[in-house]
Amino acid sequence: MSTTHKATRSTNDTAETVGTMDWMAAQITMPYTLTPGRATGIFLAELAGRRLIGSRHGDEIIVPAQDYSGSTGEPASDFVEVPPVGTIQAFTTTADGTIALVLVDGSTVPFTHRLLGFEPGVMVVGSRVEAVWADEPTGGMLDLAGFGPLGAAESFEPRPDPAELAAPSERIDYTMTLDYRHAYGPYYGTLFDGIKDGRRIRGVRCSECRRLLLPPRAHCDVCFAPTAEWVDVEATGTVQASSVVHIEFIGQRLKPPYVYAEIVLDGTSTRLIHMVGGVDAEEARTAVAPGARVRAVWSDRHTGSLADIDHFELAPEETP
């Protein structure tokens, strides 16, 4: 999984709680493998030949074909070819286009796909549509590009036992992308603004127990009193725990093996999790043990996040 982000600024700065970075526009991109199953695999494979295949479940005909009925749980008894023609049952329009529930002729369950080629204000519930096929099939759902206004395509009764069904698609490589906004609030906003523009790490002190909290927050997590005082924190600290990561997974900044550690920055009462660099995995078992002293190594990035600290390095000469 990979993540990218950018931040925006506010003009409502105050003397102490600056909070200029209000939100983060982020994107999560996650590649994965889809295994559609036999029935849907046949449906997808047949799209390359410009045929729509449904499955029969008692009195139901479901398009796209399914191994089991979602309403009755009944398995598919056979497959049918249905016409590339249907009726709009519902639709919604967004800035990215129009999505509709289309009931293909002969089927009993509508399915969701996009509408193409309609003039604004022309489409209504009940409009007749026909399949719009991709110019070049790629082996996925968008081989059926969508549905457009009914033209020359003709309807017919579902054809049982369609001849020479294609072998089902067994695996589809897919990428899911999610765009979202994450609101920082004044406490994380102040922290990230200081990191980005001044290479300042700032915590906040509890008004009652005087613990120094990093990341900063509105209330102490031990005595629940409100926090009151911003404090600059040195970028040096002590390892409380560490782990050598050997497993590779999507979204890693470093190729394994590498070292993650729980670090208590000097003067703070909470742990910061970050990477420790400049030490190999075998040496880290003893060198990055609890009690080891470390200091931050700043990167050339100015993203306004903890990623602006590239890593922590061992600093045995540092004293608390």
- Mean pLDDT (whole number) for 78-102: 95
Burial (CB count <10 Å: 0-12, 13-18, 19+), residue 164: exposed
- Mean pLDDT (whole number) for 201-226: 93
- Mean pLDDT (whole number) for 50-72: 95
Token readout for 277 is: 């660099």
Question: Strand order of the sheet with strand 172-183?
Answer: 2-9, 21-34, 172-183
CA distance 189 to 202: 11
Burial (CB count <10 Å: 0-12, 13-18, 19+), residue 278: middle
Give how far Cα 289 sits from Cα of 88, 235, 244, 280, 317, Å. 64, 19, 11, 13, 16
CA distance 133 to 140: 12
Question: Strand order of the sheet with strand 212-213?
Answer: 212-213, 201-206, 227-233
Look up the pTM and report it.
Answer: 0.57
- Mean pLDDT (whole number) for 190-203: 90
pLDDT for 86: 97
Give how far Cα 197 sits from Cα of 130, 150, 178, 301, 310, Å. 56, 58, 28, 11, 16
Pairing of strands 236-245, 258-265: antiparallel
**Spatial contact of 101 and 152, defined as CB atoms under 8 Å apart:** no
pLDDT for 9: 35
CA distance 85 to 30: 34
Residue holding tokens 């404090």?
231
Split at pLDDT 50, 70, 90, the class of 264 is very high
Helix (H), strand (E) counts: the chain:
3, 20
Split at pLDDT 50, 70, 90, the class of 119 is confident
pLDDT for 84: 97
Split at pLDDT 50, 70, 90, the class of 6 is very low
**Spatial contact of 44 and 34, defined as CB atoms under 8 Å apart:** no
16 or 253, higher pLDDT: 253
Give how far Cα 287 sits from Cα of 32, 64, 185, 259, 277, Å. 37, 58, 37, 11, 11
Instruction: Tell me the three state secondary structure of residue 12.
Output: coil
**Spatial contact of 115 and 126, defined as CB atoms under 8 Å apart:** no
Amino acid letter for position 291: G
- Mean pLDDT (whole number) for 142-152: 96
- Mean pLDDT (whole number) for 53-82: 95
177 or 108, higher pLDDT: 108
Split at pLDDT 50, 70, 90, the class of 239 is very high
Instruction: Tell me the three state secondary structure of residue 189.
Output: helix
230 or 304, higher pLDDT: 230
**Spatial contact of 23 and 182, defined as CB atoms under 8 Å apart:** yes
- The Cα angle at residue 233 between residues 231 and 239, in degrees rounded to 5: 140
Split at pLDDT 50, 70, 90, the class of 95 is confident
- Mean pLDDT (whole number) for 227-241: 93
Q: Is 163 left (phi over 0), alpha (psi -120 to 50) or beta?
A: beta
